[in-house]
Amino acid sequence: MSTLSVPLTSELENFITAMVQSGKAANKADVVRKALTKMSEDEAIAAVLQSEREAKEGKVLYGDLRKLMKELV
């Protein structure tokens, strides 16, 4: 596991402290890890929703995946 040093605004620092004090996180690092996990999950959900929108718009590729990749690259 690596460690990062990140400058924070006072508002973010206060938020992190509040999350720890309220028991929503074990410590400051836990707050940041949970936030990054949530961000990662949100990105994955956004990608799935985008794919669904594109499928509804007919932007779907059909056929052999290997052949399609050769055409796209």
User: Residue 61: what pLDDT?
Assistant: 75
Residue 45 has pLDDT above 80, yes or no: yes
Which uninterrupted H or E stretch holds 42?
Answer: helix 28-56
- The one-letter code for the residue type at 73 is V
pLDDT in tens, 3-32: 999 999 999 999 999 999 999 999 999 999
For residue 73, name the pLDDT band (cuts at 50, 70, 90): confident
Contacts of 46 (CB under 8 A, 6+ apart): none
